[in-house]
A and B are shown apart, each in its own frame.
Chain A
Amino acid sequence: MSDDPRIERALRLKAAVDAGDATDDERRALEHDAAGDGAIADALAGDRAVDRLLRYAAAAAPAASFSAVVAARIDAEADAPRFLRGVRRRLPPRRGVIARRVAALAAALLVVATVAWWHARGAPAGFAIADASADALVDAAPAAIGARIVDGATIACGAGRLVLRHDDGTRLTLAAARAVVTTSSASIALRLEEGAVIADVPRRPPGADLRIATPHGEAVVLGTRFRISVGMTTALAVEEGVVRLVDAASGRAADVGAGGTATIGEAAALERLRGEALAWYDFADGGGAIAHDRGGRGLRLDLALSDPAAATWLPGGGLRLDRSTLLATPGPAPTLVAACARSDALTVVADVTTVADNADDPADSYPKRIVCLGPPTADATHCFSLGQGLFLGDRGVFDLRLRTDATSDDRPSIATAAAHALPARRLVIAAVRAADGACRLVVDGRTVATRRVDEPTGPASRRLSPAADSQRLPGALAAWSAGSRLAVAGDHGRSTRGWLGVLHRVALFDRALSDDELRALTDVER
């Protein structure tokens, strides 16, 4: 890493510090070196500057649920007792602790008195709506502030929020959520299908837990403040107290304390996507000449390897293509074609390792086909083609060609603005076309800048649009031929278009996958 042994030692210590493995003596040694040695200080400062820049770049992208959670927290804050809010803001920490305890005691007495009052007047325990945004629905009807929630009520917040207050003082703020609420005399249960919940729960008696179930498991609460959100996985962040998180798949439970976070459901996310896939190849066959389709829709679009000697099945999954070959369905895939025509949307995902050899071929042998669908003749137009490289152009870009009823062939196409395929590495490339015609390319779970490639009279007339996150390829997918066959790593009748590298997973969907889903396909097993 460095020719200077002092710097080499310092960097190794820094790595140990980053990993939390450094001893106190090692930390002190590094601090001493950083303070007293200009070269070491420079190396560490440079590392820190790059670290900061990376963190800046990662955080600068807008977060999808951030606005909804802020809005929910503003509502939660606004609904807190006014005297408590003032105390929190104005008093210094030491006095604040005392004041908060007094306030908490007062609040607890207030809750006890309120509950006793409710019981005395015979009112049933349960939730009422404390606040709601205009788009929040309860049992498909607009949420009315003050209305009580019946057992089994279905809540849909849309992009907004809904605040529920239980008679026992429990307060649930749902943001961009879909959920079902059930209450009994003692316990409270919420089934959260999507979105986030901020829970503020007074300490509860034994046997009267608050349980929040998600598709991936369950959080059991005794009395705390925490946030739980559901996308493709379930993420829990605890602010106060302890929450027990139970993974539904394994049955394992973990107590998450204040300041802690936990996530469950990664494997379930993958399984859910596989269940929806028109075709799904994980190349875990281990040998033979067939890559089996394990997509949950049951289309059985197995791929036959035209030259088994050109490929090597890898232990643990994966198919390495050492020479040009073709994996293709032996017959047409009309069900796949019809499904995409119906939805007018498509997602193609390829988890692959690129190789430098793909960039060495003549410029007229591109794009190399990673996944394509089309009639089994060399001169036919593809329905779609996800490939690497542009014809007579940049060999490192990814390119999506798509035929619609508004085009005479599979042009125009969209191509990544940067050469993401190079240098050789493992990556997940996804091509997404939404029903409104918006197309984008996603690399490793992040949408990358693309250019629309127009060639009105062939490659010599090529025009590239300005780079943008999304490009429109208008028209419908109804023009696709029912006789089309699916091909991977090559093209029907065009041996020069063979793609080389390692196939880890290829999947096709008849809808535009969300960012959350594409990230799940990238994160799992990576």
Chain B
Amino acid sequence: MSPVAASPADRGSRRGALRGITMLRGMDDIPSDDECAWTRRARAGDRPAFDELVRRHQGRLRAWLAVRVADAAAVDDLAQDAFVIAYGRLDVFDPTCPFYPWLRGIALNVLRNHRRKAAAQPIAEDRLHRLLDEADERRPDDDEEADPDALARLRACIERLPDGAGELVRAHYFRGLALGELADARGRTAGAMAMLLLRARRWLRTCLERGAAA
């Protein structure tokens, strides 16, 4: 069978086929009074107040970066960079505005710089990922956040993964073991581990879509 070019209609149907694993935009960016108080104090030079902002927003920012950067160590480094820069620029931050979108804007610039540096290296995979992003009709730098329902469904689906696939997914994504480490532990090749993970993700996709349709 010869390849068939994707038409706009196809793309529309593909978006529909990914229901249940889509992301949302602009979640809870309205600052609470409590948040405003912390940002005002941080802006006035109160370090513990800034530490509190770090504590509150680190998970969300790291997750946002993790969607865009495959290397888990780089995710932490970039998130730290964003917080360090944010601290140095608190004097230009409007404390009546929500802190997280401003922080994410800084993180976006940090991410772009990171990509510029990475682009100088011969990693053909990035080109493939850009193609996949286009196919998915999502821009990698937008402000999307994970749908909490999708995360809950994902957790439930992981629990139902057959055989050892759940353990493999947890080891790779949640405990940060690289394909090579997984392969060494199981006496198999990294390619075999990648294939098992790919199968697990396909199973999860089906599970998520069924959950979304239910």
- Which residues of chain A have a CB within 8 Å of any CB of chain B? 1, 4-6, 11-12, 14-21, 24, 27, 30-31, 33-63, 66-67, 69-71, 73-74, 77, 237, 261, 418-420, 423, 425-427, 444-446, 519, 522-523, 525-526
Contact = CB atoms under 8 A, between A and B. Distances in A.
B162 to A, nearest CB: 6
A38 B67 contact: no
A261 B176 CA distance: 13
A147 B127 CA distance: 53
B193 A420 contact: no
Given A31-B128, A36-B5, A45-B136, A522 B175 contact: yes
Interface in B169-187: 169-171, 173-177, 179, 185
Given A34-B135, A57-B154, A66-B76, A526 B202 contact: no
Contacts, number: 230
B83 interface: yes
B7 A38 contact: yes
A312 B191 CA distance: 33
A96 to B, nearest CB: 11
B131 A57 contact: no
B65 A48 contact: no
A399 to B, nearest CB: 16
Interface in B97-150: 124-125, 127-129, 131-133, 135-136, 146, 150
A426 to B, nearest CB: 6
B175 A519 contact: yes
B17 A42 contact: yes
Contact of B132 (A48, A50, A63, A423): A48
Interface centre among A41, A519, A525 (most CB of B within 10 A): A41
A131 B8 CA distance: 59
B198 interface: yes
Contacts of B179: 18-20
Nearest to A42: B14
Contacts of B124: 24, 27
B122 to A, nearest CB: 10
Contact of A60 (B60, B72, B125): B60
Contacts of B64: 56
B47 interface: yes
Given A21-B190, A38-B5, A45 B51 contact: no
Given A20-B190, A53-B151, A63 B60 contact: no
Contacts of B47: 71, 74
B14 A445 contact: no
15 contacts: A1-B198, A4-B1, A20-B179, A36-B6, A37-B3, A45-B14, A53-B21, A57-B151, A60-B151, A63-B62, A66-B79, A70-B83, A74-B84, A420-B159, A526-B185
A55 B14 CA distance: 22
A50 B201 contact: yes
B202 A71 contact: no
B73 interface: yes
Interface residues of B, number: 88
Contact of B194 (A15, A31, A41, A46): A15
A45 B16 CA distance: 12
A338 B155 CA distance: 39
B150 A15 contact: no
Contacts of A418: 155-156, 159
Nearest to A1: B199
A519 B174 CA distance: 11
A46 B17 contact: yes
B197 A426 contact: no
Interface of B: 1, 3-7, 10-11, 14, 17-18, 21-23, 47, 50-51, 54-55, 58-60, 62-67, 70, 72-73, 75-77, 79-80, 83-84, 87-88, 124-125, 127-129, 131-133, 135-136, 146, 150-151, 154-156, 159-164, 166-167, 169-171, 173-177, 179, 185, 189-191, 193-195, 197-199, 201-202, 204-205, 208
Nearest to A39: B4
Contacts of B75: 59
A523 B160 contact: no
B40 to A, nearest CB: 18
Nearest to A50: B201
B86 to A, nearest CB: 10
Contacts of A58: 66, 72, 173-174, 176
A246 to B, nearest CB: 20
B6 A38 contact: yes
Given A38-B4, A74-B84, A1 B72 contact: no
Given A44-B132, A445-B175, A425 B164 contact: yes
A36 B3 contact: yes
A49 B205 contact: yes
B131 A34 contact: yes
Nearest to A24: B124
A444 B21 contact: no
Given A18-B179, A261-B73, A426-B167, A12 B63 contact: no
Contacts of B136: 45, 48-49
Nearest to A73: B84
A17 B125 contact: yes
A418 B159 CA distance: 8
A56 B66 contact: yes
Contacts of A53: 21, 146, 150-151, 154, 208
A36 B7 CA distance: 10
Given A57-B155, A77-B88, A51 B59 contact: no
A463 to B, nearest CB: 23
Given A74-B87, A446-B174, A56 B167 contact: no
B106 to A, nearest CB: 12
Contacts of A425: 163-164, 166-167
Contact of B135 (A41, A423, A427): A41
Nearest to A65: B76
- 5 closest cross-chain pairs (CB), A and B: A59-B66, A38-B6, A37-B3, A60-B63, A41-B135
Nearest to A159: B51
B163 to A, nearest CB: 7
Interface centre among B1, B22, B198, B208 (most CB of A within 10 A): B198
Given A71-B54, A74-B87, A46 B173 contact: no
B6 to A, nearest CB: 4
